[in-house]
């Protein structure tokens, strides 16, 4: 299985308030962090808005706007 370019994937998607994003990953090696645009562009997760560690996390979009997520390491 090759690498997925999530930025390219998301560029063609329209998300709406109430939509859910599901992140499935191996939580022994990764976590998911919601970051600011600046954090996303610099790939910096030192001050995340939220951190998800379950390995199968669901995030509901509760407002309009841009949301940025990156993988981190526990």
28-59: pLDDT as tens digits:
999 999 999 999 999 999 999 999 999 999 99
| 52 closest CA partner among 32, 67, 34 | 32
Q: Which domain holds residue 31?
A: 6-72
- Strand ranges of the sheet holding 31-35, from the earlier edge strand across to the other edge: 50-52, 31-35, 68-72
Number of domains, the chain = 1
Distance CA 21, CA 4 (A): 16
Residue 65 confidence class, pLDDT cut points 50, 70, 90:
very high
Asked if the model's pLDDT at residue 74 lies above 60, the reply is yes
Burial 30-55 (b: 16+ CB within 10 A, else e): bbbbbbeeebbeeeebeebeeebeee
- The whole-model pTM stands at 0.84
The CATH number of residue 60's host domain is: 2.60.40.420
């Amino acid at each position: 299985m090759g690498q997925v370019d999530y930025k390219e994937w998301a560029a063609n998607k329209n998300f709406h308030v109430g939509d859910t994003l599901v992140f499935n990953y191996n939580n022994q090696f990764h976590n998911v962090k919601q970051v600011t645009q600046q954090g996303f562009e610099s790939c910096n997760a030192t001050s995340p808005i939220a951190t998800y560690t379950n390995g199968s996390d669901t995030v509901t979009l509760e407002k309009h706007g841009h949301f940025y997520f990156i993988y981190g390491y526990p």
